[in-house]
Chains A and B, each alone.
Chain A
Amino acid sequence: MDRMKTAIPGLDLQQMVIYVGFLAIFVFFALTLHDDGFLTQRNLTNIVLQTAPVTIMAIGLVFALSAGEIDLSFGSIVAVSALSAAVVMQSMPMFVGIAAGLGVGIAIGAFNGLLVAYLKLPSFLVTLATMGLFAGIARSMTDLRSIPVINDSFTAIFGSGKLFSIPSLVIWTVLGVALGHIIYRHTRFGAHVLATGDSPRAAQVSGIKVPRIRLYVLTICGGCAGLAGLLYAGRLQAAKYTLGESDLMTVIAAVIVGGTALNGGKGSVIGALLGSLLMGMLNNGLILMNLKVSDQMIVRGLIILIAVAISLRDVNR
């Protein structure tokens, strides 16, 4: 938020968009849907619960995009991680399942990262390929079958449980965003990620190990996707190859609307959270408005288009 204090007004229009847009849409739904339960605590909590995995994935993507890379494969990683955890927990204790889910995510992320950082392949193409590769692996792992998760501790920690009457998915969201924000804004690593995406040359001549940063951000993306996979598995009490598959566009939209630049050097974890909540709020509000499904898609598409257009408006100035 440092940059908002700069002397040049309007500088951070892109990062302001999400705050204004989020508030505007919230107020709109609050006014039009107050008889339909939009403002009930249950509904507002639902929105946070429903968006928790998307928020976690969005945090990972903020790091990747800020470093000038992209990850298209995280949806497939979500499925592989969730299935790994579910399969492992059929015969082994919970913590082994958690380690398997997270470990698989981190390993796939690192695999992407190694190809990008040291073979100098563009991340767009690497992760486009691994997206398909791991989607296939997710399908073949269990022959398209869904695997139930019957471990009650696991489903409590990653799904329906509560701590001091706060739902666990809310806690994961807050923890993830807080940790992500601190690393992104307040550590040397975060500064190096931004510098790498902003100007790889400036970063490199300043002694920053640019390939290592690229490896790390894609690994973080994989780890976040792994955690998102655990959250889905906990929430659905099951894992399935389709998990995460349809989240790619939602996550990218959440991150861009949240003020993260597509071409690196700039971003916001808090913005990504708001972007993710905005996506959830749109899904929720448009259903409560009782629109036809096709109309829901049209309205959501238009709002995202407007938000993204404003967010990216002055990138090339």
Chain B
Amino acid sequence: MTTQTSVLSLKNIHKSFGGIVAIQDFSLDLHAGEIVALVGDNGAGKSTLIKIVSGVYTPTSGAIGLDGAPVAFSDASSARARGIEVVYQDLALADQQPVFMNMFLGRELTKPPFGLLDKTRMRRESQQLVDDLDVRIPSAGSTIRDLSGGQRQGIAIARATHWASKLILLDEPTAALGVAETARVEELIETLKARDLAILIISHSLDQVFRLSDRICVLRRGQQIGVRETANTDKNEIVSMITGVA
């Protein structure tokens, strides 16, 4: 689709836990402004793959490249430091804290001379961000637990957007949402493409995958079955790749 250097490149990734092989020979290149969907049944290895990319697991063998340079993540922080953000299925939000503190959780802004929190700036930047992304919440000072599921998802995605310079991993972003909220979140994900980020999304909803993604990568029992351009495939092909039933 594009000829530029891939943002993320995975080459021959293997991961096994003891004797159990979780991921076998997985290779994928992700480009800026591209959404790739990762599909497969439960236990296919999707979560393991997300954890490898986000630095939680180290692959048993294989190479990870960022912008063409090889990298090795020691933990989630080091992946984050390289511009990779994850939106977890459970959102990983602190429910009783305000939106702006969640936005900056673990990376709070401080101001001189005493290094105290710069709440004004965090609030302002958070407000700016949710306005830009059109995440409709009462204010950046709202408490998370007073927000709807869709709004929370929006906050989690906005947070990832704020910090990601290269790649966002989305794990089941709409699993817990109703129809209208799902549509809102999908719109939001679409707008991220314009920010030149690469996006890897896990979803169980093939409809959603076909609506959002540029390419679809299918996993089955830890094996990479194939990658298809969304425009050049259909649901039947993807389903048969997922299930192994032709």
Residues of B within 8 A of A265 (CB): 94-97
Residues of A within 8 A of B146 (CB): 6, 8, 11
Q: Which of B83-125 contact A (CB under 8 A)?
A: 86, 88, 90-98, 101-102, 105-108, 110, 115-117, 119
Interface status of B61 (Cβ within 8 A of chain A): no
Q: Min CB distance, A292 to chain B, in Å? A: 42
A6 touches B143 (CB 8 A): yes
Q: Min CB distance, A94 to chain B, in Å? A: 30
Residues of B within 8 A of A190 (CB): 117
Chain B: interface secondary structure? Answer: loop
Interface status of A133 (Cβ within 8 A of chain B): no
A202 touches B94 (CB 8 A): yes
Interface residue range, chain B? 20 to 34
Residue of A nearest to B78 (CB): A207
Q: Mask for A185-224, Cβ within 8 A of B = 1, else 0? A: 1111011101100110111011110000000000000000
Interface status of B76 (Cβ within 8 A of chain A): yes
B141 touches A3 (CB 8 A): yes
B90 touches A201 (CB 8 A): yes
B143 touches A203 (CB 8 A): no
Interface status of A235 (Cβ within 8 A of chain B): no
Interface status of B5 (Cβ within 8 A of chain A): no
Please report the C-alpha to C-alpha distance between residue A192 and residue B106 in the assembled complex, in whole angstroms: 7
B97 touches A195 (CB 8 A): yes
A186 touches B106 (CB 8 A): no
A186 touches B117 (CB 8 A): yes
Output the residue of A7, A11, A202 with the most chain B CB within 10 A: A202
Q: Which 6 A-B pairs have the closest CB atoms?
A: A206-B106, A198-B94, A265-B96, A206-B105, A207-B106, A7-B138
A contact set with B: CB distance below 8 Å:
2-3, 5-8, 11, 182, 185-188, 190-192, 194-195, 198-199, 201-203, 205-208, 261, 265-266
Q: List 17 A-B contacts (CB under 8 A).
A: A3-B98, A6-B141, A6-B142, A188-B115, A194-B94, A195-B105, A198-B96, A201-B92, A202-B92, A202-B93, A202-B102, A203-B94, A205-B92, A207-B76, A261-B96, A265-B94, A266-B96
